Structure 1
Amino acid sequence: MINEPSAPTATHEFDLTTAPIESFTALQEARQEVFSSERAHDAFQRTIRGLQPTGPEGLRRGLGAWMIGDYEGACDALSAYASDDVASFTHANALMTLKRYVEAQPIFKRLAEKYPGEPKAQGGYAEACFEAALSEHGEHEIDAICEVYERELAAAGEGFADSAEGQYLAGRAAEVRRDWQLALDHFGKARELNPAMRRNLFHLGLRAERCGLDLEALVAYQQLASLAPVDLPAMMNLGMLLEDLGRDQEAAACYDVIARSRPMDRRARLYLSDAVAGMDMYYDEDQERKEDRLNQILRIPITDFELSVRARNCLNKMNIMTLGDLVKQTETELLSFKNFGETSLNEIKEILGSKSLRLGMGRQEAVLSIESTQQRYVSGENAEAMNRPILDLELSIRARRTVEYLGCLTFGDVIQHSEEELLGMPNFGVTSLTELKEKLTIFGLELKPRQ
């Protein structure tokens, strides 16, 4: 009902109208498919709007609303399906996201009694009770609330304390008691057990940030920001943290996501304006540089990768010569080609995944993906220079093409390579090497030492 994982299947677009939804875990897995591309997301929204508000379609309409992050709509639709356990658990989770803890309590309680060994149901009930009590009584009765809460956790059953839910809830109790280190320890263990637990990642990031552990907070917020749909409060916190670290361009990107999602959010627009003002270049110029980085990757020829003869021949016949040509295709389009099967498809997906790309990817999504996975250099006296894009080196075409071929996006990426590696590249000679070294020296950098 709640946690039994669905069997692995071939990746296809999730069909809300017909797909079996036997557990909440299956719903979470399908949620990622919905956000796999802008086209998939738009199609899914159209499907939701086409469903009737009552009967079996009404239930699926409510589940679909939760999947796209419309929690108010999910609550409205799913309240009529209390007899369906997946709908009830989804409804309760939507209520928790909206901080309507008192309404979530009876739903989680029924599920916890029906599934006594299920940590998600037990944890949901304990968390709803705890957060509701804190909301009602505030700091005046923290010790009493925590004592009751911790007794409930201890009585939750064998193994619960070692589950991701148990560790997260223990962390919340420690956090409320202001035992910051213990809270961070529990949140960290919960993340190890379940890296996709949203509330845990948020509290881990928030607590780490307030304890001055900026890099740990950054990792937690980035993990949370990578989950679909985007957690806007986490994105706001991530933006502020990036500004504190002097990474104004990335901060502006975070605020821009919020401003686009919530056009009337004056706070996000103000922060965006401030972040742009703190940048060395205009925001649209930064976007252009991101596009250039993406183009470097999209220009990589398919022949640079090890592919089976069948896959290579099929791509040639389809006139797919570069990664840019490939990302424009969908799985359905590739599989419809003669002799192109699941094995060849998996080869292609592995190649794209190595470059943080996927089939059917929109250009804007690709830009954001490349930017989010780009290696960051956060320590050392030359960290700022190391994060600059290679275009700032103003290299000759021959030298630039070589470092692009090696997959370098920043100065820091370039200096991971030695003179020997570079001289071993086609059309890269002593003249190009001397040029590159002189440009790097201007910024206080040098190539990797000879082994």
Structure 2
Amino acid sequence: MAEAGTLSRLRELFEKEDLTVTQILEARRETYSSILNRSELVRIVEGKDLDLEKKLGESKGQTRRATGQWILGRTRDAAETLSHARPSKEALLVGAHAQLEAGDAAQALELADKLRAQDLPAPDALAVEVLRFEILEKLGRHEEVLAAIPKAQKAHGEQADLHCHAGMCCDLTGQYADAEKHYSRALELNPEHEPTLFRLAYNHDLRGEDKEALEVYERLRTMKPPRVASLINLGVMYEDRGDYMRASDCYEQVLDVYPNHQRAQLYYRDARASLSMYYDEDAKRREHRWGKLLSTPISEFQLSVRSRNCLTQINVLNLGDLVRRTEEELMTMRNFGETSLKEIKELLQQKGLRLARPGETGIDAANPPEIPSPLPTQGKPKEDVLQKPVAEFEWSARAKKALESLGVSVLADLTLRSEKELLGIKNFGTTSLNEIKQKLAQYGLSLKEG
């Protein structure tokens, strides 16, 4: 079977003495091609199928475990694991990505520069150069990227990645005609180039070209691994249209990969709350009916002996126990494979149920876990915080467009605006409002009352 080959390919990669940069990125793509692949990597990272330290030695084993943790979206775990490993090319790459995703672009750049100074084969050198450009863009050093791209093209040839970064930096410095030329050339070189498609979708969104934006975002949604920003922006667009079910699906797709992603949790809860407004009249009847259904013993259903034995091992005695489990939990059980998973999912689907999503608690997928309150940033006086440019933050397309329309350039400007003013902006809804309020709360700030 193809999937079995893919799984063994992941195992083969993680058992290698050394991994190249391109092999690590290949492993990441393969991991998100199916739930089975993710389950395989979970078992490897957690030491259930492979003792990495014993296989590769303590330091290399720790680095390889950190690589798996980063691929699975466990960024903090990866950083912690790397702190116990010796420096290596693999550790520098994973560390740079982990620091960038954690918001420390300066530290990410330091690690990327160290990796860039290593003796790397051509494909790896290009991947590191592209990562470095991404970090520089996070730091706002767009002119530096534009100046470096001709040299990179001379070294690596004409590449879609390089044209994409040139286009984005032109975009962000007001050189819009040049940006369009670079994006067009990137797609000529690679029609499925994900970063370029994302920029096109984002620009369509900013210009209010909703139909075109939706088409490209939906195309991006099928790519593996999906970009979080694509899914968030698509979800917000569906909310603007009142399609809360599709919006919820987008946020759930983020939570499948990053169960603790706070923005996705916040947006998911809001979308589900909006959706539930249509069903409140039937809530009590549904609750009673579900209570009876979820108490149905597993023994009443015709399951294969293998599926039944596996469920008994983890103390799943009724449907209520079963819907509290995730696909990944089931797939980590020995002797439980794709056939058993399909059998159980079909059973639940017949009853109008499903397995839990990662990060969900309880039996009702409409009630996601509570989101921890953000902590105020420490160590900076409020006066400095108030002058922080809003351009430094990552906003959804809707929020960014609203701030631009109001002429908001620093946080101080934002605190002078009220909820009523923001909600009066076309296509600005509760989700975008909560995004702005949460960002302000991180600095102990709030919108103007009234």
TM-score (norm 1): 0.51
CA distance in 2 between partners of 1:29 and 1:167 (Å)? 22
Instruction: For residues 281-322 of structure 1, give each alpha carbon's deviation from its aligned partner in whole angstroms, at most 9, with x where no partner exists.
Output: 999x9xxxxxxxxxxxxxxxxxxxxxxxxxxxxxxxxxxxxx
Instruction: For residues 214-245 of structure 1, give each alpha carbon's deviation from its aligned partner in whole angstroms, at most 9, with x where no partner exists.
Output: 34433443344334455443322111223445
CA distance in 1 between partners of 2:196 and 2:102 (Å)? 16
1:111 aligns with 2:140: no
Query: Residue 246 and residue 197 in structure 1: after superposition, are their counterparts in 2 closer, same or farther (change >3 A)?
Result: same
Root-mean-square deviation (CA), in Å?
4.7
Could you say which residue in structure 1 is the equivalent of 2:151? Answer: 155
- Asked which structure has the greater RCO (Cα within 8 Å, sep 6+), the reply is 2
Identity %: 22
Pick one of 230, 249, 253 that aligns with 2:249: 253
CA distance in 1 between partners of 2:102 and 2:189 (Å)? 25
Could you say which residue in structure 2 is the equivalent of 1:271? Answer: 271
1:277-356 correspondence runs (5 A): 277=277
1:68 aligns with 2:72: yes
| TM superposition shift of 1:170 | 0.7
- 3-state SS of paired residue (2:46): helix
TM-score (norm 2): 0.51
One-letter identity of the residue aligned with 1:125? R
Could you say which residue in structure 1 is the equivalent of 2:89? Answer: 85
CA distance in 1 between partners of 2:166 and 2:215 (Å)? 21
One-letter identity of the residue aligned with 2:35? E
Pick one of 125, 128, 137 that aligns with 1:121: 128
| TM superposition shift of 1:270 | 0.7
Moved more, 66-75 or 180-189: 180-189
Contact 1:196–1:227 (CA under 8 A) maintained in structure 2: no
CA distance in 2 between partners of 1:200 and 1:282 (Å)? 45
1:48 aligns with 2:45: yes
One-letter identity of the residue aligned with 1:242? Y
- Listed as ranges, the gaps of 5+ residues in structure 2 are 287-334, 347-450
One-letter identity of the residue aligned with 2:127? K
Pick one of 203, 206, 218 that aligns with 1:207: 203
One-letter identity of the residue aligned with 1:123? V
CA distance in 2 between partners of 1:79 and 1:111 (Å)? 17
| TM superposition shift of 1:125 | 2.4
Pick one of 5, 22, 28 that aligns with 1:25: 22
Which has the higher Rg, Structure 1 or Structure 2? 1
Pick one of 234, 238, 243 that aligns with 1:238: 234
Query: Residue 277 and residue 174 in structure 1: after superposition, are their counterparts in 2 closer, same or farther (change >3 A)?
Result: farther
- 3-state SS of paired residue (1:212): coil
Could you say which residue in structure 1 is the equivalent of 2:213? Answer: 217
Contact 2:112–2:132 (CA under 8 A) maintained in structure 1: yes
Contact 1:191–1:197 (CA under 8 A) maintained in structure 2: yes
CA distance in 2 between partners of 1:203 and 1:196 (Å)? 13
Could you say which residue in structure 2 is the equivalent of 1:165? Answer: 161
Contact 2:160–2:186 (CA under 8 A) maintained in structure 1: yes
| TM superposition shift of 1:149 | 3.2
CA distance in 2 between partners of 1:359 and 1:184 (Å)? 48
Query: Residue 359 and residue 108 in structure 1: after superposition, are their counterparts in 2 closer, same or farther (change >3 A)?
Result: farther
Query: Residue 161 and residue 82 in structure 1: after superposition, are their counterparts in 2 closer, same or farther (change >3 A)?
Result: farther
Equivalenced residue count is 285
CA distance in 2 between partners of 1:187 and 1:181 (Å)? 10
Contact 2:109–2:136 (CA under 8 A) maintained in structure 1: yes
CA distance in 1 between partners of 2:80 and 2:164 (Å)? 28
Could you say which residue in structure 1 is the equivalent of 2:105? Answer: 101
CA distance in 2 between partners of 1:21 and 1:361 (Å)? 34
Could you say which residue in structure 2 is the equivalent of 1:391? Answer: none
| TM superposition shift of 1:195 | 6.6
Moved more, 9-18 or 104-113: 9-18
CA distance in 2 between partners of 1:81 and 1:243 (Å)? 44
Could you say which residue in structure 2 is the equivalent of 1:348? Answer: none
Contact 1:205–1:220 (CA under 8 A) maintained in structure 2: yes
CA distance in 1 between partners of 2:277 and 2:344 (Å)? 23
- 3-state SS of paired residue (2:154): coil
- 3-state SS of paired residue (2:15): coil
Pick one of 1, 6, 12 that aligns with 1:11: 6
CA distance in 2 between partners of 1:66 and 1:182 (Å)? 35
| TM superposition shift of 1:210 | 0.8
CA distance in 2 between partners of 1:266 and 1:231 (Å)? 18
Query: Residue 124 and residue 219 in structure 1: after superposition, are their counterparts in 2 closer, same or farther (change >3 A)?
Result: same
CA distance in 1 between partners of 2:167 and 2:344 (Å)? 37
One-letter identity of the residue aligned with 2:95? H
- 3-state SS of paired residue (1:11): helix
One-letter identity of the residue aligned with 2:44? T
Could you say which residue in structure 1 is the equivalent of 2:222? Answer: 226
- 3-state SS of paired residue (2:93): helix
CA distance in 2 between partners of 1:216 and 1:103 (Å)? 37
Query: Residue 75 and residue 253 in structure 1: after superposition, are their counterparts in 2 closer, same or farther (change >3 A)?
Result: same
Contact 1:164–1:189 (CA under 8 A) maintained in structure 2: yes
One-letter identity of the residue aligned with 1:236? I
CA distance in 2 between partners of 1:247 and 1:365 (Å)? 26
CA distance in 2 between partners of 1:76 and 1:183 (Å)? 39
CA distance in 2 between partners of 1:82 and 1:182 (Å)? 44
One-letter identity of the residue aligned with 1:108? A
Contact 2:231–2:254 (CA under 8 A) maintained in structure 1: yes
Contact 1:251–1:275 (CA under 8 A) maintained in structure 2: no
- Listed as ranges, the gaps of 5+ residues in structure 1 are 1-8, 135-144, 286-332, 334-357, 367-451
Contact 1:105–1:128 (CA under 8 A) maintained in structure 2: yes
One-letter identity of the residue aligned with 2:27? A
